[in-house]
Amino acid sequence: MSGSHSEAQPEGQFCWARLRVENKDPEFHTYVVGRQRLAGVSGRRGLPDSFAMAVRRQHDSVDIGGHDLIEVELWYDVPRGARVGGVRVSGDRDRVGFMNSSPVPYARNGVLIAMKPLTGW
């Protein structure tokens, strides 16, 4: 894998996903890359790989403006032969609203977005 300033070899194999993240709220929200985990891969290898993310010049977190949509790449270095079932995504834990300080409801283990490998690359 290469970027504009460097290249990287995986310890195992690279797996990547492109996500569109929408903020439907009028306030800023912070999207944290490190919260997005691969299903079927345990430990640190199920988290975005910091070196691969740096090579691809992807941020660790992104502030999303009110009613904005962003697109991000997530890069993972997974063990060879790992069976990735998808990405478990999770958002922020901001308050429900201006006058309500309770956090927004969330799925404790994230929401699974199933994926299947692309072939023929």
Q: What is the pLDDT of residues 50-81, one digit of tens each?
A: 999 999 899 999 999 999 999 999 999 999 98
Structure tokens that stand for 78 in this block:
């997974």
Check if the beta carbon of residue 75 is closer than 8 Å to that of residue 2: no
For tokens 């299947």, the residue is: 116
Name the amino acid, one letter, at 52. A
In a domain, 48, yes or no: yes
Global pTM? 0.80
- pLDDT of residue 5 exceeding 70, the answer is no
Residue 2, in any domain of the structure:
no
Show the CA angle centred on residue 93, arms to residues 92 and 99, nearest 5°: 125
Residues in Cβ contact with 104 at an 8 Å cutoff, skipping those fewer than 6 apart:
91, 92, 93, 94, 95, 96
The parent domain of residue 24 ranges over 13-95+108-114
What pLDDT, on the 0 to 100 scale, is given for residue 2? 63
Q: What CATH code is carried by the domain that includes residue 32? A: 2.60.40
**Residue 67 maps to a domain:** yes
- One-letter amino acid for residue 15 of the chain: C
Residue 5 resides in a domain? no
Residue 60 lies in a domain: yes
